[in-house]
Amino acid sequence: MSDFSTRNQYFDALFATDGLLWMGQNTNHIPAHPAVTKAMADSIARAEFNAYAPPLGFEALRKAIVADLGVPGVEAVVTDGGVTALATICRARCRPGTALVTTDPTWKWPCLFARQQGADVIEIPIYDPATDYKLTPDALDKAVDERTAIIYIVDPNNPLGICYSKAEIEAFSEIARRNDALLVHDCTYRDFATGHYPALNASTDNTIVTMSFSKWLGLAGLRIGTLVAKEELAAEMASWSTGVLGSSVIAQRAAIAGLKVKDEWMKEVRRINAVNQRKIKDTVETLGFSVAVYPSNGNFLVIETVAVNIRPEALVAAAKEEGIMIRQGTYHTERFGDRFIKISTSVPTEWADILCDKLPALVERARTLNDVEAQF
């Protein structure tokens, strides 16, 4: 069977698992704020789903996104999830003979989108404690040249959880401007970070910020995200969009409601996330694992498996047998993927407790697994 069907069946089986603990996709499973569920229910009751939304998004949502980002004089374009924003950007700027420069690890899908447009992808290794698992301005400068169409920075990094400083972002911005490259600052996890500096603060020239409502607000299944840029850049990107009939009306109503209660909501989400990260870190360390970056600035942890001689895929398979979904490192990086698993932490504390309780047995089970099914 081809990957075309196998991948879909893999995730379909996960969805069909009653009571599955989703702890591998960085999705937020903390029960939604009542204002958000009410906004969705009200939208359904009004049958708003019968009509198309405005092509760039409801004006109230576009304004709220810009206000939340805190950068004046820019425009938001609402998209079907953050991934669609990134696909649109790659469609607009990537061509044969150009390159997208990013890190390794990074989020894999923009690399695919760039290659689909005929561009080369240059991945700069950052899985290195010597650089605090970060991209350095010097390393970026050496990798960028006249072919570079896009510099793609995931910040906080998925999966490592590092977060770049204002000085580092400003250095990346200067490199992009000097080389006439588009700096794409993927800020999907910024609301989990202790301090975050959107690149649009450094310059609105050649800069786009992308964000998602999947992670902080828990709307992954509703598919809603955004790209934010100065007007002429936003207009250019919108002209390449396939979402010409607008994004989900129900999702946009949920996003508007979520932004209104964001301060209250994220305070509690961050508290639960921190508690879960501490529990999981303490547990895995008693078993001989190590945590690459702690505390993580995302809603996930990278757990290194090399010291205990456990294949990440085997541990993922063992967890799946117990109704727990965690992620193998190769999802993010072929070069470093055999070193780690990733565990999501924006989940009910009961889920973290179950994982921690089962983990010793999962490790022993993983040692007995040689051949495991394909994982995605």
> What is the per-residue pLDDT across 19-75, written as a single tens digit (0 to 9) for each?
999 999 999 999 999 999 999 999 999 999 999 999 999 999 999 999 999 999 999
- Tokens 């879909």 — which residue? 8
Predicted pLDDT at 1: 56
- Contact assessment for residue 376 and residue 10, using Cβ atoms and an 8 Å cutoff: yes
Q: What does the DSSP 8-state code read for residue 184? A: E
34-260 topology per CATH: Aspartate Aminotransferase; domain 2 (3.40.640)
Type of residue found at 204: T
pLDDT digits (tens, 9 = 90+) for 353-373: 999 999 999 999 999 998 999
The confidence band for 304, taking pLDDT boundaries of 50, 70 and 90, is very high
Percent of the chain with pLDDT over 90: 99
Tokens found for residue 162: 């590092």
* Domain boundaries along the sequence of the chain: 3-32+263-366, 34-260
- CA–CA gap between residue 264 and residue 260 (Å, rounded): 9
Q: Which residues contact 157 (CB under 8 A, 6 or more apart)?
A: 103, 105, 106, 126, 133, 134, 163, 298
Give, to the nearest 10 degrees, the angle between helix 231-238 and helix 82-93.
90
Calculate what percentage of the chain has a pLDDT beyond 70: 99
Task: Report residue 146 as tokens.
Answer: 């006249």
Fold of the domain spanning 3-32+263-366: Aspartate Aminotransferase, domain 1 (3.90.1150)
- Mean pLDDT, residues 284-302: 98
pLDDT at 187 over 80: yes
Taking the C-alpha atoms of residue 250 and residue 30, their distance in angstroms, rounded to an integer, is 19
User: 3-state class of 82 per DSSP?
Assistant: helix
| pTM of the predicted protein model | 0.97
pLDDT, mean of residues 233-252 = 97
CA distances 154 to 75, 161, 199, 328, 334, Å, are 20, 10, 11, 19, 18
- Rounded to 10 deg, the angle between the 262-286 and 249-260 helix axes is 90
Helices (H), 123-241: 137-143, 166-178, 231-238
The whole-number pLDDT of residue 3 equals: 84
Q: How far is CA 335 from the centre of its chain?
A: 19
Residue 114: which residues within 8 A CB-CB, separation 6 or more?
90, 94, 99, 100, 120, 121, 150
51-85 in b/e form (b: 16+ CB < 10 A) is eebeebbbeebbebbbebbebeebbbbbbbbbbbb
What pLDDT is recorded for position 289? 98
CA angle 202, 208, 214 (to 5 degrees): 115
* 29 contacts 325 by C-beta, under 8 angstroms: no
Distance CA 79, CA 246 (A): 8
Report the length, in residues, of the chain: 376
Query: Tokens 């390159």 identify what position?
Result: 99
Residue 166 identity: K
For residue 266, name the pLDDT band (cuts at 50, 70, 90): very high
For residue 50, how many other CB atoms are within 10 A of its CB?
7
Kind and range of the H or E run holding 183: strand 182-186
- The runs of H, that is alpha helices, within the chain are 3-15, 34-45, 59-69, 82-93, 108-116, 137-143, 166-178, 231-238, 249-260, 262-286, 312-321, 349-366
Place of tokens 């590092």: 162
Q: How far apart are CA 171 and CA 179, in angstroms?
A: 13
